[in-house]
Amino acid sequence: MFKSPLKQLRQSIWLSEVPDNISVPAIGTEPASVIPIEKATLDEVAFAELAISREASALSRVSSSLSEVVKLARKQGARGVDNAVAAAIRELGERK
């Protein structure tokens, strides 16, 4: 039985999440596009990965910032129904 190259890649533990399609960002005069991974060039995969990596980094920064707000608020004794930003600001004010 023939297994497609993509199915063969997905059998690897590290490559099980290889998508069917990738979003390639606009580059130069080329518009953004969604293409099947099995037809993608190395550059198209690299540009798609770079775009996803940037998105992941941005999400990580947001997650870290939200975590810091929670930590600051908790230091002020804030609980679940308290305003997190107000408590975090109080904590920052006490640090000055």
User: What is the model's pTM?
Assistant: 0.76
Domain boundaries, the chain: 5-95
Rounded to the nearest integer, the mean pLDDT of the chain is 93
Three-state DSSP class for residue 59: helix
Question: Cα–Cα distance between 60 and 58 in angstroms, integer?
Answer: 5
**Interval 9-48: pLDDT, tens:** 888 878 889 999 999 999 899 999 999 999 999 999 999 9
pLDDT-derived band at 6, boundaries 50, 70, 90:
confident
43 vs 53: CA distance, rounded Å: 15
Give the pLDDT of residue 20: 95
- Closest by CA position to 22, among listed 59, 52, 53: 52
Tell the residue number behind the tokens 């947001």, with chain if given.
62
